[in-house]
Amino acid sequence: MTNTPVHVTCPAGTITGYTIDTVNYFHSVDYSEIPSDFADARPLQAPRDQDARVPRPEAVALTITAPAETTDAPVLVYIHGGRYEHGTHEDPRAEGTANAQAGIVQVQVGYRVGLPGFASFRDDEAFRFRGIDDCQLALEWIQRNIESFGGDPTNVTLIGQSAGATTALWLMRRDHYRGAFRRVVALSPAFPLESNEKRKASLRRALGVPVTRESLAALPQDKLADGYSKFRKKHNLGMALGPAPFDAAEMVDIPLVVSSTRDEFYGIPVAQKIDSSPLRGIALRQIAPKFGFPPNSFGPWRQIASYIDKKRPLGRMIGDANIRRWVAQSADDAPGPTWMIEFTRSGRPALHCEELRFIFGVRDGESARTLNSWLHNFVRTGHTGFPEYRPDHAIWEYNLDSGDERVAHGSLDYVGAVFSG
């Protein structure tokens, strides 16, 4: 295959990418200016020409994959996951060729991760985080420029996975939403279990310096990394970084699809070790409060979790506390219409992130083509093809291996009952 250069002139300047067959690619396009690691980003101050033919996966940038000949195409914006510690806008699991071939303009957004993106400072505006504000600037860039790439800025769907889904839900908050997207798909969102204040105090102890822009900027990189590693160990079964607290009732009234995988974190080594121990019942009871289980809720939860899977109760507890509680809350309490999906597999657990290659059409096979086609339809029309979650707690179960599907009811009610009490 040969690459043919392609030039797009837009309000941000002339962007040079390349064409392969019927798809245009523009890699790592700068959408903001970041004066320093811990400073607030700002929009690009003037149009600039950019050569976007070579990926820069470490950059805070965005990548556009678009049909070579299109106008007014629906736009899909993807925010990557990675526990707010790693990840890239060049995430190969969400590469956009299949979507572009179906007539959709896809944009993959990068943002600051780690302490530059999510350390909380005293002068920060409440409920704002630099990493999420980076995504806000990317959405503003898309609104101003995507029409030049063939996209319709009035028909934007936002999709995120794990921490990216968390960001998507946070951008739905009434104090964040600016009309830059009209519907959301949140795949396995994960919020921190502790407040910003508690995590900030823990970070301060680990670093040995005040958590200020000046002190973090002055720390040598090796000491900053060592301090963060100590801090991270205190949150090894949850999110050390990220926005909190989450309240789905604070979101705007737009369509929302939320999902989880059936088994999420069964593959974590520490969970596998405890789940294989004869003392796992005692360990679970001791761990439950750290996951936010209210008093007297462990017993009823354990009864249902054992019915679902007797052999891996801690793996289920980690998934319930870090993922499924937020999926249930979002579906229950979001002001707008909601739908829920649960991804399963045949003969083995369905783990965190495994749905990505299927839903973006990166993986071969009929099941992936079906799920990718489902995404195309939702992005174009907002229609899911299965019942809304409310009032009957309907859940579309989709098997990633076989493509079998069915509508179940109330599968996560036990999780909602634990964490809403």
Evaluate the omega torsion of the peptide bond into residue 245 and state whether it is cis, within 30 degrees of 0.
Answer: yes
Q: What pLDDT was estimated at residue 236?
A: 85
* Percentage above 70 pLDDT, the chain: 100
CA distances to 204, 215, 244, 373 from 207, rounded to whole Å, are 5, 10, 21, 47
pLDDT band with cut points at 50, 70 and 90 for residue 400: very high
Q: Average pLDDT, stretch 321-339? A: 98
Output the six-digit token pair for 199. Answer: 């995590």
Query: How far is residue 168's CA from residue 157's CA, in Å, rounded to a whole number?
Result: 10
Q: What pLDDT was estimated at residue 65?
A: 98
Mean pLDDT (the chain, rounded)? 96
Which residue in 66, 96, 104, 112 sits closest to 356, CA to CA? 96
Q: Is the pLDDT assigned to residue 55 strictly greater than 70?
A: yes
Which residue in 112, 114, 110, 147 sits closest to 29, CA to CA? 110
Active site residue 162: yes
Q: Is the pLDDT assigned to residue 315 strictly greater than 70?
A: yes
pLDDT band with cut points at 50, 70 and 90 for residue 126: confident
Q: Average pLDDT, stretch 230-244? A: 93
Q: Average pLDDT, stretch 395-417? A: 97
Instruction: Considering the candidates 32, 120, 162, 330, report the single residue annotated as catalytic.
Output: 162
Q: Is the pLDDT assigned to residue 237 strictly greater than 90?
A: no
Rounded-to-5 percentages of helix, strand, coil across the chain: 35, 20, 40
Q: Average pLDDT, stretch 130-146? A: 98
Q: What pLDDT was estimated at residue 2?
A: 72
Q: Average pLDDT, stretch 279-285? A: 93
Q: What pLDDT was estimated at residue 1?
A: 60
Burial class of 257 by CB neighbour count within 10 A (0 to 12, 13 to 18, 19+):
buried
Q: Average pLDDT, stretch 337-345? A: 98
Q: What pLDDT was estimated at residue 421?
A: 61
67-84 pLDDT, tens per residue?
A: 999 999 999 999 999 999
Output the six-digit token pair for 260. Answer: 């989880």
CATH 3.90.79.10 assigned to domain 1-192+249-254+354-385? The reply is no
178-230 pLDDT, tens per residue?
A: 999 999 999 999 999 999 999 999 999 999 999 999 999 999 999 999 999 99
